[in-house]
Structure 1
């Protein structure tokens, strides 16, 4: 067997090799969804990803001879280091992610190289996998390998869990997603709570207006950064990131799938739902040319999907300890549930990710008869 060598990614050609590797490693996995290669390249190109405005990263490739056999990203998020340590990151924290490898020896060597780079930057504690922002694909899939991930969620080989744990990493936080049959009405108690809210003249649950995209995005961002600010792993989203996310998500933003709840005219809660883009891009095998772009544009005109994903919900902190918080959540969920079935033919919903100790959100998910379908694990190790 050829000797293993690990080299830093420094050129466009290196980045292309970095993106291409999973296509070979997962080609026989029926549940892996090939990302659009242009999108994957953009995430690791500083000029195209607003996250790099407050973060730095070094990518590595592992070779045996001329064959790429592994990859990893080591990165430092300066905003994450400014957060309180009780929220997961804090001073001295660094991360690694985007890890793929043919075998455990390669995996272990890549992890050691990432840790070496992090130590050189003054990092004393490494967390991973986080690929790369906490808002992208955090955590390693440890349950739910038997079905494909939805848009913006990760997939992984079952062997990776043992490889990480044998490298000395310990679990620090679990993230879960829930699935439910959205063609079924909610339990009677939830329906009564919704009807009570609908009778309250102080509450308005409205659709967003995509023609005022920037204004609506600013409203949602303000609620998000307040609602999530005490959560484990929270890092505030910045204007450059919001701009990039807006460009990427605008094509799959539909007015009736995103709701803002207002209390006496004040925006206090939101819910974002996205049609599962993975259903459309999966057959494209990462390529928009020669005909993939036309197929995708046609799909985007009026998506017909099986699954809708709820990546984000939030209620301002002032209301989170009140009954009103769950009432607003149920009202938004029901409005979007009906629109999803009626207008897009959807039959399945997925909510998450949600921190496993977020009692409020987990209670809401349980109340509407949803069940955990995937579990992701974030690990840490002192360096």
Structure 2
């Protein structure tokens, strides 16, 4: 497949690269807007909403800043922005994992190794000054947020809350000495190809679970705050052994939940309960990127909000973003019921396919069942690391 226009650009300017820290609202706006110009010729690029990115990166707006720190940097050449990066000190991650890791995120660059090197060098220096010993990324705060570099599957836009980048980033990161830490997978499950055994088995599995006093229900949006609190305990416990995981505190989970509340369809947010205690969850979200791809420069006003409101009913792709069960309740059939109910309701509502993402490469408990449903591994993402 031919490289996209953004992959074909290769800057050869001999002018020096200068790096400046983001310290003002104007610079923050430039940081957020740079990708729109970088990807302007790439048909698969989906702009991030400006207001969401601004709040994410502003202390006092997003709860990450209550416990951790970061510094944004812009790369300039010939009076033009040519790259950006964030150096991130996630203190909660290090406490939970008993680690001394630093992170980089929000990385974007023209196809020029000298620009990428200047950005990585600046981020590495900032992290070392904090006493950190490794540089991991791209991670936009933690693995609870969009993270990892796309390394395979460049022919389609990303689905909601997944990352996207040009192919040449693989070379830029590798040349700096960043090496693979772990890969994560995205699977595409097409309606016409799926093995619908889970859907056929739903009733039988439900009956078996009922004998153990386990029931499956959809979320009650009228009691959303209490439901979110019930889900938080499972979210923080079911993934606690995943690489790099850090549990969300109350404020962080509430922030994420309120964002998801704007886009979720309650038919696709399912809770498994044992005698009233939530023991498993799945959260699927309509692929709002099918709308956002047409929202110019990520601005909701004046027309972007209208596109979002009018376009939601036309979305025909679903992302299975969260599916987890507490360890002591796994292999009882709960996961099968989740998949079966998603299939049944997805077909009823006219969804053409679903993406299950992201899943660690060595997570056979998740990867194997999706493969058995004829899920196609169609995108691969990578988290890199480097000792500093």
TM-score clears 0.5: yes
C-alpha deviation, 1:187, in angstroms: 4.4
Select 2:303's aligned residue among 291, 303, 307: 291
Q: Secondary structure at the match of 1:138?
A: coil
Q: State the match for 1:47 in structure 2.
A: 60
Instruction: Tell me which moved more, 238-247 or 208-217.
Output: 238-247
C-alpha distance after superposition, 1:59-88 (max 9, x if no partner): 00011132111100000111110133xxxx
C-alpha distance after superposition, 1:300-336 (max 9, x if no partner): 4xx331210011111002123xx21xx1111112112
Q: Secondary structure at the match of 1:334?
A: helix
User: 1:198-217 maps to which residues of 2 (within 5 A)?
Assistant: 198-200=206-208, 201=210, 202-217=213-228
Q: State the distance in 1 between where 2:329 and 2:123 align.
A: 42
Residue 197 of structure 1 pairs with residue 205 of structure 2: yes
Select 2:183's aligned residue among 174, 177, 188: 174
1:185–1:24 Cα change, 3 Å? closer
Aligned residues: 370
Residue 3 of structure 1 pairs with residue 29 of structure 2: no
Runs in 1 of length 4+ with deviation above 4 angstroms? none
C-alpha deviation, 1:18, in angstroms: 0.3
C-alpha deviation, 1:183, in angstroms: 5.2
Q: State the match for 1:274 in structure 2.
A: 285
Residue 99 of structure 1 pairs with residue 112 of structure 2: no
Select 1:162's aligned residue among 135, 152, 171: 171
Residue 312 of structure 1 pairs with residue 318 of structure 2: no
Q: State the match for 2:342 in structure 1.
A: 336
Q: State the distance in 1 between where 2:314 and 2:230 align.
A: 28
Instruction: Tell me which moved more, 129-138 or 102-111.
Output: 129-138
Q: State the match for 1:224 in structure 2.
A: 235
1:211–1:299 Cα change, 3 Å? farther
C-alpha deviation, 1:381, in angstroms: 0.8
Instruction: Tell me which moved more, 143-152 or 51-60.
Output: 51-60
Q: State the distance in 2 between where 1:182 and 1:50 align.
A: 39
C-alpha deviation, 1:191, in angstroms: 4.9
Q: Secondary structure at the match of 1:48?
A: coil
Q: State the distance in 2 between where 1:273 and 1:66 align.
A: 44
Answer yes or no: is the 8 Å Cα contact 1:126–1:381 preserved in 2: yes
Q: State the match for 1:87 in structure 2.
A: none
Select 1:361's aligned residue among 359, 366, 385: 366
1:118–1:185 Cα change, 3 Å? closer
Question: Unaligned regions of 5+ residues in structure 1, if any?
Answer: 85-89
Residue 73 of structure 1 pairs with residue 72 of structure 2: no
C-alpha RMSD over aligned residues? 1.6
Question: Unaligned regions of 5+ residues in structure 2, if any?
Answer: 1-13
Q: State the match for 1:152 in structure 2.
A: 161
Answer yes or no: is the 8 Å Cα contact 2:89–2:103 preserved in 1: yes
Q: State the distance in 1 between where 2:101 and 2:224 align.
A: 35
Select 2:131's aligned residue among 86, 104, 122: 122
Q: Secondary structure at the match of 1:351?
A: strand
TM-score by length of 1: 0.93
Answer yes or no: is the 8 Å Cα contact 1:173–1:355 preserved in 2: yes
Q: State the match for 1:64 in structure 2.
A: 77
Q: State the match for 2:257 in structure 1.
A: 246
Residue 351 of structure 1 pairs with residue 344 of structure 2: no
Select 1:262's aligned residue among 265, 273, 281: 273
C-alpha distance after superposition, 1:91-131 (max 9, x if no partner): 22010011111122101110000000000000111101112
Select 2:26's aligned residue among 13, 38, 41: 13
Q: State the distance in 2 between where 1:281 and 1:78 align.
A: 33
